[in-house]
Amino acid sequence: MAPYRTFRHDTPKTLKYRPDWPVRFTDLDHADSHCEQFFGWYNHEHHHSGIGMLTPADRHAGNGQQIKRARQAILDAAYAATPGRFPNGRPQPPKQPARVWINPPQIHSE
């Protein structure tokens, strides 16, 4: 599958499976309004597994490491209070990728 298709297919699927997705849009204004609300939620509230459970807005603003440190402090406190709940040892926050791409650049070797 071409890299651009991943984004093009995932977003409509995310849209369709939202509980507030209408069965049918009444008109273009209804569709515009719905999508405006959706993309606000998607970029500022929805935590994405592919970027370490951050929102795209947090990732774009460079807040990833600050959030990771705060999450680690909470996980450390939980582990210290009840280590038996964590049979695999000290829990870690989700990993954050070094780079994030919608369409990764193509590297061509000659």
Reported pTM: 0.72
Domain annotation covers residue 34 = no
Q: Quote the DSSP letter at residue 71.
A: H
Burial of 48 (0-12, 13-18, 19+ CB in 10 A): middle
Domain annotation covers residue 50 = yes
Number of domains composing the chain: 1
Domain annotation covers residue 30 = no
Domain annotation covers residue 62 = yes
Domain annotation covers residue 57 = yes
Domain containing 56 equals 45-94
Provide the pLDDT for residue 22: 85
pLDDT tens, 4-54?
A: 444 444 566 777 777 888 888 999 999 999 889 988 998 999 999 999 999
- Rounded to whole angstroms, the Cα distance separating 47 from 55 reads 5
- Rounded to whole angstroms, the Cα distance separating 38 from 7 reads 16
